[in-house]
Chain A
Amino acid sequence: DAGITQSPRHKVTETGTPVTLRCHQTENHRYMYWYRQDPGHGLRLIHYSYGVKDTDKGEVSDGYSVSRSKTEDFLLTLESATSSQTSVYFCAIKTGTWGYNEQFFGPGTRLTVL
């Protein structure tokens, strides 16, 4: 258990509404990630962070923004949710040192956009 929690765990929202998902870690790891998982696509990287206020885009970043004002929290925001953003969202942290490191995942958030 790498001490990663995600909130909420489930959310149903309507098209056009803003949504924020929270990832919280307890171990002060520098790197944090947001992925989405869709059937037939595996997991795809949305955004990642390599420190407080340091973030970068991943493969599927359109329609998403992130913020990291504290080491322990990484927020994913959908400014105006669309049905195509219905997915399961995973947060991950990277542990270890340069080269030899691993990613551990949170429990996931299932988001449904109606």
Chain B
Amino acid sequence: AQTVTQSQPEMSVQEAETVTLSCTYDTSESDYYLFWYKQPPSRQMILVIRQEAYKQQNATENRFSVNFQKAAKSFSLKISDSQLGDAAMYFCAYRSNYGGSQGNLIFGKGTKLSVKP
């Protein structure tokens, strides 16, 4: 079974600085997607960024980028020019492209990010 591990329960960053959130995963599959979701205090789950395992190029969405290391099974999220609105829980998630469970997400336990003004 696949697992997702976020080893940093809490992180803190100064406004305008850069922060990197870590995520590792375990799988024997080769075809999968990885995601980062943001959950602000409103509780809404918001998709931040996705990465397809077959793509070498790291995904980027504005100030958010990932460092995808497939061999190391690592998928970290970098937030540049941090803003107060980035304060939230961040969840890393894995999705297989195989079998009947295709589409089911497996989540890490989350990292709580605080942004200091």
Contacts and interface: CB of A to CB of B under 8 A. Distances in A.
A90 interface: yes
Interface in B81-117: 91, 97, 100, 102-110
A42 B103 contact: no
Contacts of B4: 42
Nearest to A104: B47
Contacts, number: 46
B104 A41 contact: no
Interface stretch (A16-24, A43-51, A70-78): A43-51
B11 interface: no
B16 interface: no
Secondary structure of the B contact surface, majority rule:
loop
Contacts of A100: 52
A111 to B, nearest CB: 13
A107 B91 contact: no
Given A31-B103, A42-B110, 8 more contacts: A42-B107, A42-B108, A43-B105, A100-B52, A102-B35, A102-B50, A103-B105, A107-B44
A32 to B, nearest CB: 10
Contacts of B47: 102-104
A43 B91 contact: yes
